[in-house]
C-alpha cells in the first residue's frame, strides 16, 4: 500500500530514533483523522503505569463490573485532552481503527459473552496537529510512515511494537549510529 503524505488517515507514524520530544520518543501513532484542518492520532505503545479501566471511570457501567473488561490496561494516547478516554478498535472490515468515546463496544462484547474480548486499546488523551503542522514535521523527518496492519498492532506486545515496526521497514536500531560525523 502506498502512503499518501497529504492523507495519512489509517496509517502509522513512527517517531524517528533521534526525536527531541520525550513525550513521543519510541512512539507508534495510529492516525485516525488527517485533513486540511490538521490531524489526530493515538500512541499505541505506551501503557499507563498500572492503570486499568476501573481505575479511571468515575461511574463504571454495571455490565462491566467484575468482568475482564474492568481490568483492561489503559494507554497514554497522547498529551492532548489527557483526561478524555477513547477506545480504538478495528472496523468490521479490519482495515482501519475506529476511535470512540463510548463504552458501547465493551458493553456489547460482555452482553454477547465474547471471550476473549475483541481487540481494542483504551486510551487517555490523543496526539493532534494543527493545519500543516504534521506535514511540516514529515518534511523535517520527525516521523516515519508505515502502512497499518490490524494483526500487527494487537498481536505484538506494546513494549516491542516500536522495534517491530522499525524492523518491518528494514531498520535495525543497533546498526544506527547516534553520533554525527564526516564522511
Residue 3 forms part of a structural domain:
no
Measured CA to CA, the distance from residue 114 to residue 69 in angstroms comes to 11
- The CB density around residue 99, as the number of other CB atoms within 10 Å, is 18
Q: What is the pLDDT of residues 64-122, one digit of tens each?
A: 777 778 888 999 999 999 989 999 988 777 678 989 888 888 888 777 777 677 888 99
Residue 168 forms part of a structural domain:
yes
CATH code for the domain of 162? 3.40.1740.10
pLDDT at residue 149, as a whole number:
83
Domain that holds residue 121: 11-175
Q: How confident is the model at residue 1 (pLDDT cuts 50, 70, 90)?
A: very low
Cα 108–63–66 angle (5° rounding)?
120
Q: Which residue has the higher pLDDT, 175 or 90?
A: 90
CA atoms lying within 13 Å on the CB side of residue 44: 33
Per the structure, the count of domains in the chain is 1
Residue 138 has φ and ψ, to the nearest 5°, of -65, -40
pLDDT at residue 52, as a whole number:
83
pLDDT at residue 153, as a whole number:
84
- The CB density around residue 134, as the number of other CB atoms within 10 Å, is 23
Q: How confident is the model at residue 151 (pLDDT cuts 50, 70, 90)?
A: confident
Model confidence, pTM: 0.86
Mean pLDDT on 40-54: 91
Amino acid at each position: 500500500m502506498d502512503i499518501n503524505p497529504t492523507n495519512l488517515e489509517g496509517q502509522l507514524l513512527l517517531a524517528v530514533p533521534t526525536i527531541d520530544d520525550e513525550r513521543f520518543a519510541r512512539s507508534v501513532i495510529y492516525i485516525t483523522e488527517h485533513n486540511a484542518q490538521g490531524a489526530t492520532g493515538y500512541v499505541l505503545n505506551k501503557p499507563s503505569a498500572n492503570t486499568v479501566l476501573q481505575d479511571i471511570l468515575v461511574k463504571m457501567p454495571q455490565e462491566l463490573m467484575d468482568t475482564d473488561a474492568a481490568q483492561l490496561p489503559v494507554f497514554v494516547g497522547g498529551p492532548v485532552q489527557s483526561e478524555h478516554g477513547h477506545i480504538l478498535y478495528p472496523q468490521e472490515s479490519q482495515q482501519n481503527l475506529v476511535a470512540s468515546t463510548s463504552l458501547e463496544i465493551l458493553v456489547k462484547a460482555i452482553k454477547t459473552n465474547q471471550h476473549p474480548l475483541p481487540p481494542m486499546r483504551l486510551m487517555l488523551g490523543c496526539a493532534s496537529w494543527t493545519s500543516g503542522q504534521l506535514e511540516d514535521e514529515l518534511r523535517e523527518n520527525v516521523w516515519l510512515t508505515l502502512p497499518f496492519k490490524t494483526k500487527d498492532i494487537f498481536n505484538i506486545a506494546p513494549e516491542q511494537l516500536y522495534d517491530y515496526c522499525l524492523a518491518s521497514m528494514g531498520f535495525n536500531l543497533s546498526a544506527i549510529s547516534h553520533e554525527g560525523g564526516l564522511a
